[in-house]
Amino acid sequence: MSTSDILDGLDAEQRHAAETLLGPVCILAGAGTGKTRAITHRIAHGIQEGVYSPGTLLALTFTSKAAGELRHRLRVLGAPGAVVRTFHAEALAQLGYFWPDLVGGSAPRLLDNKSRYIVEAAERAKMRLGPGAVRDVAGEIEWRKTSELSIEGYVTAARGRPLPRGLDADAVAEVQQQYEELKDERRRIDFEDVLLVACGMLDSEPIARERVRTQYRHFVVDEFQDVSPLQHRLLKLWLGDRTDLCVVGDANQTIYTFAGASSAYLLGFERDHPGAEIVRLERNYRSAPQVLDLANRLMRGRPGALDLRAATAVRGVVSEPIAYDDDAAEAAGVAEAVVAELAAGTAPEQIAVLHRVNDQARAFEDALGARGIVTRSLAGTPFFEIPAVRKLTSALAVQAQRFPDDPVRGFVADTARAAGWTVDRSHSRLAPQDWAGLDAIVRFAEATPEDVTLARFAAELDDREQAKGELPMSAVVLGTLHSAKGLEWESVYLVGLAEGLLPVSHARGEAAVDEERRLFYVGITRARRRLTLSWARRGQRDRERQPSRFLQELRTGSRDAAPTRAR
């Protein structure tokens, strides 16, 4: 692919980002503005021009799924050799490489899951923790370490945090102390220790530090607003005194401060890197102007806020907030609206119902299921781990080995039918999720060119699985606002927009409420054309609710008014 081909199709701001190959670069990229497109074309362009060699550029992401997507796009652009990893994957690879020479023997083994150790640690501390408390303690361990706090420092810093039910900061600290001692006794490290130990190694071992800096000359960091203090320290150790760092982020989408993320490094990039090139991506290719107007009004005046403008004039629909009598009525009302959308021709997978906390999902799942609508939870089983999908992909892999040049279309559909799939779901005995998974593979096969072979199709499925990707299932999506980040749908229902739910009840103080505002912004900007807002006047035990302060702010334009009672 030629340089002109790589840069063709980029807008002026994206092209500027792609052509700025050296020096500190900060790309402030709003929701839907093509930030992944900009950075992948920048990397591919730099390799094409000879400014980067693939093995000396390290692109860092926060999830394996994001890394897989980045690698896939770079392959398409003709830059398959670029190193794309998560912070943890790169740190773990470095520990495995240097440990035998610098320390001797093999590195400590990585814990698969903290839960068992936390339960045992609590027992040592004469406490008994339920599953929810174990999960919350794990979150506190992760927050402490990514924030680079000692256990003593944690006790002071945790005073204003929502803590596991029934535990104060001293009790959580005691469980953490026992947890650390258990790990040391058994020579184990957890996920966060990987970064801590890597930092310690690079700090104390000049040989390791210089070898890493010799290998990696250029760095790209995606989602820079989510960098924690610990990750930022590791990045600085990798970078040294060099300046070839490109970061991409959006302060409006900082929604993981509870896990240690800080937008301060993004907002202070120009101060920390004098002479940095700042590129603003504000042309939104996802959402209708009406959706973006709501998003802009919500975030106007906030630190790092971008002014999104629609690249399309296609008209969207944003509802006035709908107030239902109670949670059941809200779920029923949303379900009826979804039924109407499906009847009008919207594909099920292009509709999402987004909520703040996991407990809200059940009512909507039940209401939609009662109307015969298949749903898929973003927190549910990953696509390629759905039992029926696993069996079908295994059968395809076996057949592809035996008959690699056979056509794909007929075989996939026939194999799916043998597994219980039918064109009309009502005629299938499969569980809804199993049916939807098989249906997604059949539709994917039918959409491939006729000359695609079984071997090529099986390889494509394997690539998607390795990249943590999915196929679109014929199902309405249910998910939390956190899980929806990075995704988009034609129609989005933002539900439960009441005080105590958004902002959530434990969000106390200006910083915590600001995080809830950003979550609302993320939800709004998931919608392409249609956005429906709703809340319920009464919740559990008939408790009266008030509309979210964010709804009132959007209505009045004022951030100073206290929440008012629903009429």
- Known binding residues for ATP are 29-36
Percent helix / strand / coil, the chain, rounded to 5: 50, 15, 35
CA angle 225, 231, 237 (to 5 degrees): 125
| Backbone φ/ψ region at 364: left (φ over 0), alpha (ψ -120 to 50), beta | alpha
| Cβ atoms of residues 135 and 250 within 8 Å | no
Q: Which amino acid is at 471?
A: L
Helix segments in 240-360, DSSP class H: 264-267, 269-272, 289-299, 327-343
What single string gives the DSSP state of each residue in 445-484? HHTS-TT-BHHHHHHHHHHHHHTT-----SSEEEEETTTT
| Cβ atoms of residues 549 and 499 within 8 Å | yes
Q: Return d(Cα 218, Cα 348) in angstroms, integer.
A: 42
Q: How far apart are the first and last CA of the chain?
A: 62
- Tokens 């944003």 — which residue? 318
Helix segments in 125-163, DSSP class H: 131-146, 151-157
Residue 46 DSSP SS3: helix
Q: How far is CA 470 from CA 77, 250, 307, 397, 465, in A?
A: 21, 25, 32, 17, 7
Q: Return d(Cα 547, Cα 537) in angstroms, integer.
A: 8
| Cβ atoms of residues 294 and 526 within 8 Å | no
Within 8 A by CB and 6+ apart from 174, the residues are 125, 127
Q: Return d(Cα 552, Cα 533) in angstroms, integer.
A: 12
Q: Residues annotated as binding site?
A: 29-36
CB atoms within 10 A of CB 424: 6
309 φ, ψ (degrees, to nearest 5)? -130, 140
Strands 283-284 and 309-310: parallel
Residue 518 DSSP SS3: helix
535 φ, ψ (degrees, to nearest 5)? -155, 165
Question: Closest Cα to residue 530, out of 498, 488, 561?
Answer: 488
